[in-house]
A and B are shown apart, each in its own frame.
Chain A
Amino acid sequence: MRESCVIFRRELKSYFFSPIAYVFGVLFLGVLLFGAAMGSLVDGTSASMQAFFGWLPVVLLGFVPALTMRSWAEERKMGTIELLMTFPVRVSSLVTGKFLAAVVYLGFVLVLTLGLPLTLGAYGRLDWPPVIGAYVASLLFAGSFVAVGMFFSSLTRDQIIAMLISLVVLAVLFAIGVPVLVALLVDWMPAWGVDLITGISPYKYFQSIARGALDTRDIVYFACFCGFFLYCNALVLHYRRHKG
């Protein structure tokens, strides 16, 4: 736990001390808010949080792989992985420290978007509980993407490969939770098969929480999903000690 904390703080600092974090943050916010504004215009409705939270998962899909591609690939390329792995620290602590740092960084960027609901609230009536629920859902959703992205970053020392693979995998995981796309599957397989497949998608649970009902089952799902990929991540690092 203490070791995770040390790793977490170093990682978080490195986010805020590197220009990448600022470029990433600015672009992320720009794309997010611009997209949300366009969405509202297309709807013809006034600016709403619905457009924002509809667009946010898509932006996360594009940006999270770019954020996580460095996490292990860079350490391997620079050789600093050899330092990390020879510190008196469990692999699991390394993985959780890195994971939490990325999630907290994304959380920080999400907090910066609070200006939007605050403005809306100031100029009209805003129903806060669903907005807060949707923020929680977004953070959990972002976390699940970070876990996947980090896992693929641990498989290679090439950041671009890490990014591309996680992008594709995340796109598939995303797609199997989109109702319109799932509807296409219904003709091809039995209902339980469809349920099984959509049951894997973080997007399904994101929607379920963002709709306003914070169900413990959804939280458990995200915990299991992240846990699974973080565990695989730790296994990869551990196994590499055999191979060299």
Chain B
Amino acid sequence: MIEVDRLEKTYGFARALKGISFSVRKGEVVGFLGPNGAGKSTTMKILTGYLLPTGGRASVDGLDVVDRSLEVRRRIGYLPESTPLYGEMRVDDYLSFCAEIRGVPRGRRRKAIERAVELCGLARVTGKNIVELSKGYRQRVGLAQAIVHEPPVLILDEPTSGLDPNQIVEVRKLIERLGAEHTVVLSTHYLQEVEKSCSRVIIVHQGEIVADGTRDQLIASRPAGGLRARVRGPEAAVLAQCAELLPGCPVTVVHRSEQAVDYRLDVGDGAAPVEEALSRLVVKNGWALLELNRERPSLEDVFRSLTLGSEQEVARA
């Protein structure tokens, strides 16, 4: 549905996008993740035709976003960052305007608006002026505006920023519902949002894609980090034998209780069969192994490890 090929964007001297490539299949809900200024919004603005790329190509539904911009825009529903709206307009007038300008034929317009109002839960406020609405409702008006012409592709730039936790849950549910009918690309700061509503995650950092895959793929791609073991046995002996048998895995004591001691083994890249060696060691010494598990990195760990390291480098430089 969306193909992006070595897309570049330069603002003056700043390279906002350094040739990113990805594709989104029909029906996918893709989360764009990245620190501020990573290039998320720039990518979305190019896809929607608001900005022209400096290099590379992008296409939506097989249509080039530069050469056939009008046709592309007809296929996209876009919620820009910070949800700009015409405050002095009534909600129903505004939606009617958006439907009309996007070419929804007169006969179908009322139906289309009703659908958008219903999906976004706006029935109670259709007669109100947009300025009178709370932030949460405004966000929903922004979403309704984006779906009113039933576009195959939805591009949502930070749909939940600035909302309170309840509103976030509501908008997130709405996006999940929309994801059933539309191809959705959304950008966000909230990792839970991606975990909950996206089938795929693209992590952008400093104008480049640093990760692209499902949540589980991304997590699996990271080294496991640590191994937790609860062992009943003399602590000093356990520490000594571990250090001798597994020199590559520094052991630390995490927690002591009356029955057992919790240890953490730093397994590094996670390649060595540490579990096996450890269980043999326990059996050989006649201790008891009460618990053994790998620390599962969260998406947050993945995100931080991908985007934090180089930021520190930048800070140092």
A residues adjacent to B (C-beta < 8 A): 3, 6-7, 10, 13-14, 17-18, 78-83, 85-90, 241-244
Interface residues of B in 42-85 (CB under 8 A from A): 42, 45, 48-52, 70-71, 73-74, 76, 78, 80-82, 84-85
Evaluate contact between B101 and A89: CB separation under 8 angstroms.
Answer: yes
Q: Which residue of A lies closest to B78 (CB)?
A: A86
What is the minimal beta-carbon distance from B135 to any residue of chain A, in angstroms? 15
Q: Is B84's CB under 8 angstroms from A83's CB?
A: yes
B48→A78 contact, CB < 8 A: no
Q: Which residues of A contact B73 (CB under 8 A)?
A: 86-88
A90 CA to B49 CA, complexed, in Å: 11
* A-B CB contact pairs (8 Å), 17 listed: A7-B101, A10-B86, A13-B89, A14-B89, A78-B84, A79-B80, A79-B81, A79-B84, A80-B85, A82-B45, A82-B50, A83-B84, A83-B145, A86-B76, A241-B51, A243-B11, A244-B11
B45 touches A79 (CB 8 A): no
Bound together, the chains give a CA A219 to CA B85 distance in angstroms of 38
B53–chain A nearest beta-carbon distance, Å:
10
Residues of B with C-beta under 8 A to A17: 88-89
Residue of A nearest to B79 (CB): A83
Judged by a CB distance under 8 angstroms, whether B287 is at the interface is no
> Residue-by-residue, is B94-120 near A (CB-CB < 8 Å gives 1, otherwise 0)?
000110111100000000000000000
Chain A residue nearest in CB terms to B103: A88
Closest CB pairs A-B (n = 7):
A79-B84, A88-B73, A88-B74, A82-B80, A80-B84, A86-B48, A6-B101
Q: Are A87 and B50 in contact (CB under 8 A)?
A: no
Known contacts A82-B50, A241-B50, A243-B11; A88/B70 CB under 8 A = yes
| CB closest chain-B residue, reference A89 | B101
Chain A hits for B49, CB < 8 A: 85-86, 241
User: Are A14 and B88 in contact (CB-based, < 8 A)?
Assistant: yes
Q: How far is the CA of A90 from the CA of B73 in the complex (A)?
A: 11
Q: Given A79-B84, A83-B84, A86-B76, do A10 and B103 touch, yes or no (CB 8 Å)?
A: no
- Tell me if B102 and A87 are in contact (CB < 8 A): yes
Shortest B94–chain A CB gap in Å is: 9
- Tier of interface size on chain B: 20 to 34
Say how far B26's CB is from chain A's closest CB, in angstroms.
20
Whether the pair B86, A80 counts as a contact (CB closer than 8 A) is yes
A6 CA / B104 CA spacing, docked (Å): 12
Shortest Cβ gap from B112 to chain A (Å) = 15
Are the CB atoms of A242 and B50 closer together than 8 Å?
Answer: no
**Contact residues in A for B85 (Cβ distance below 8 Å):** 80
Residues of A within 8 A of B9 (CB): 244
Q: Which residues of the other chain, B, contact A88 by a CB distance below 8 angstroms? A: 70-71, 73-74, 101-103
Contacts of B86 in A (CB 8 A): 10, 14, 80
List residues of chain A with CB within 8 A of the CB of B80.
79, 82-83, 86
Separation of A86 and B101 alpha carbons in the complex (Å): 11
Since A80-B84, A89-B101, A242-B51 are in contact, a sample of 18 more A-B pairs with Cβ atoms closer than 8 Å, ordered by chain A residue number, is A6-B101, A7-B101, A13-B93, A14-B88, A78-B87, A81-B84, A82-B45, A83-B84, A83-B145, A86-B49, A86-B76, A86-B78, A87-B102, A88-B70, A88-B101, A241-B52, A243-B11, A244-B9
A72, B212: Cα distance in complex, Å: 39
Which of B51, B84, B89, B98 gathers the greatest number of chain A CB atoms within 10 Å? B84
Distance between A17 CB and nearest chain B CB, rounded to angstroms: 6
CB distance from A24 to the nearest CB of B (A): 15
Cβ A242 vs Cβ B102 within 8 A: no
How far apart sit A82 and B146, CA to CA, in the bound complex (Å)? 13
Contacts of B103 in A (CB 8 A): 88
- Chain B residue contacts of A241, Cβ below 8 A: 49-52
Which chain B residue shows the least CB distance to A81?
B84
B101 touches A3 (CB 8 A): yes
Residues of A within 8 A of B97 (CB): 6, 10
